[in-house]
Amino acid sequence: MPLVPETIEIRLPKSKIAGNAIAIKWSNSRETAHSSFTLRMGCPCAACQKLHDPNPNVVRGPTGVSPRVEVISFDWVGNYALNFLFNDGHNSGIYNYNRILELDESTNGV
């Protein structure tokens, strides 16, 4: 059985210098935690990943993101992904569950 999220919680910021965090409990009881900043920086959308730029040396990933960026809300996408709305207005990223698990920061005290 592939892992699926069972509960998703938006946590308040722990400090004034960071945004909020997302805590997810998965179907095998694993728990992961994700700072909004890391989720935002890991946005897989075509614009953030600059997929239309043929230059192989271009830096992939969004630029100019505030370390205090926050997740405002999320949506389920089919049964394979989540979509996050950030307070910088960005919401084009479809984060499949494997991508979210890759971005786990639970051992970093998030």
Q: Which two tokens stand for residue 8?
A: 């998703």
85 binds Zn ion (CB under 5 A): no
d(CA 66, CA 89): 12
93 binds Zn ion (CB under 5 A): yes
Q: C-beta of 93: minimal distance to Zn ion in Å?
A: 5
Q: C-beta of 38: minimal distance to Zn ion in Å?
A: 13
Q: C-beta of 54: minimal distance to Zn ion in Å?
A: 19
48 binds Zn ion (CB under 5 A): yes
d(CA 41, CA 64): 10
The residue count of the chain comes to 110
Would you say 42 and 99 are in contact if contact means Cβ atoms under 8 Å apart?
yes
State the first-to-last Cα distance of the chain, in angstroms, to the nearest integer. Answer: 27
Stretch that binds Zn ion, among 6-14, 26-34, 68-76, 84-92 (CB under 5 A): 84-92
Which residue among 21, 22, 39, 43 contacts Zn ion (CB under 5 A)? 43
Helix (H, G, I), strand (E, B), or coil: what is residue 98? helix
For Zn ion, the binding residues (CB under 5 A) are 43, 45, 48, 92-93
